[in-house]
Amino acid sequence: MFRSHVSVTIVRQLVEISTKHRLFVFGKLITGKRIVGSMRWESSIRPAPLLTATPVRTLVDEQTCIKASFLPSNHHVTVCARMRSDEGDLWQSFAHYNSNSGGTFDLNSDLSVGGSYSGCEPMGLFWSMQPAPGERDGLRLRKKCVESPYTVHISLLEGHVSPNQEPVKELAAVTAERWYMAPGVKRQEIRQNGLVGTLFIPPGPGPFPAMLDMWGMGGGLPEYRSSLFASRGYASFCLAYVGHKDLPGPPNTINVGDSYFQAAFQFLQDHSHIAADKVGIVGLSYGCYLTFHTATLAGVKPACLIGINGPVGSSRELLRVNVMTKECDKDQTFWNYDDQGYVIFKQTSLPSNLYPESIVKLEEITCPLMYIVGEDDLSASSKENADLIEETLRAAGKSHLFTRLSYPGAGHLIEPPYSPMSRASFWAVKPEKLMTLWGGHPAPHAAAQEDAWKKMLEFMELNLRR
């Protein structure tokens, strides 16, 4: 009697508990002694939604896998990414997703159905970023300090919403770091023998292959491509040649000439951590012209060249031997404007509009040359310049040296992968504001940046390490 009473009491208590917590008992009472069978616990409390980014700390040319879990099945959510530029401006992107029957979704395999991009885009949250509403006009995202990362706050929001709506319910969040400079890379400012630049050396004893890195007429000293090269095992010297406080002359003029670029190349060859016969040159826009021009100077024997959306000559008159002093903002002969008043520089670099004496003697180039074309480039006549390079090298019996990469829908600023595209940005703000059109469309431009970077590294591997 006592044992039977106790067993019935236990069952009664279990039934009472089950009304609150849905405890299901499977089995039967045997001889009043014990309950035989299994129990399944189903809590009415669902685990909190979880958002993960793997890995949370990466180089900017690496993918981050973003996943969400513990959502209701077939649930509408928004993933939002936000970060501050080095100048303090807020950049953001967002995308709408629907969880599957298991309450999860994965940016590597699932489709965005709206927002800043659509379709399956594993890194769409990064390359689709744009200035948030209310930020300054004409922004272009460029890393100023490569020794610190971009810190990206990624949040999971309830429903298909815009992150600027109020109120917005945040379900989960994670923070990711995106670095241009790997641990162990050494950064050294160079101000010697008249040179103005920054040298990046990879970790380890060397000697390393190296790149001389030149940007366009925007001027200054952008370091982020060079620091990323060093993170991939290549010493890199980013060289300023216009618009830098440590260069001679007015900031809007080029006041250095052939000897300056010869000295920069020689600086790399003479460095104790660099393999003297494994030095290449890379340039974008006007830096592309300087890349080809430098390769033909006396004493300069590069192992390879990479040109990105730039001319084979200068539209600015060489006023005297070895020094260029034409004011950059006065050469407006071939400028065009769209209906918003944005300037289009494309016609300026047509081969027929270049000063004949400035056009590089391409037939003198003796090393492999890769040229990258954004087919929607509105700032340079890239396709026409690529054609001229190809025709000249073919006529010189050097077709085997030439590699062309051409990307439909890509604009002028083909940068490291997953960088946000700027179709237009401020070219100058003084004495008056001037917006320029770079061209490009976000998704194809992003694809071009990813593919071009991969092929650039393969090209460098082939010609600088073997």
- The three-state secondary structure class of 279 is strand
DSSP symbols for 4-32: HHHHHHHHHHHHHHHHHH-EEEEEEEETT
Instruction: Kindly name the residue from 112, 227, 285, 419 that is annotated as catalytic.
Output: 285
User: Is 412 a catalytic site residue?
Assistant: yes
CA dist 72 and 46 (Å) reads: 9
Instruction: Kindly name the residue from 110, 213, 376, 377 that is annotated as catalytic.
Output: 377
Residue 134 exposed, middle or buried by CB count within 10 Å (0-12, 13-18, 19+): exposed
User: Is 153 a catalytic site residue?
Assistant: no
Instruction: Kindly name the residue from 96, 293, 412, 445 that is annotated as catalytic.
Output: 412
Q: How many CB atoms lie within 10 A of CB 186?
A: 13
- The single-letter code of the amino acid at 351 is P
Alpha-carbon torsion (138, 139, 140, 143), positive or negative: positive
Element holding 309 (H helix, E strand): none
User: Is 5 a catalytic site residue?
Assistant: no
The answer to whether 255 touches 230, Cβ cutoff 8 Å, is: no
The answer to whether 47 touches 70, Cβ cutoff 8 Å, is: yes
Of 173, 169, 148, give the one whose Cα is nearest residue 159.
169
Which residues are known to be catalytic?
285, 377, 412
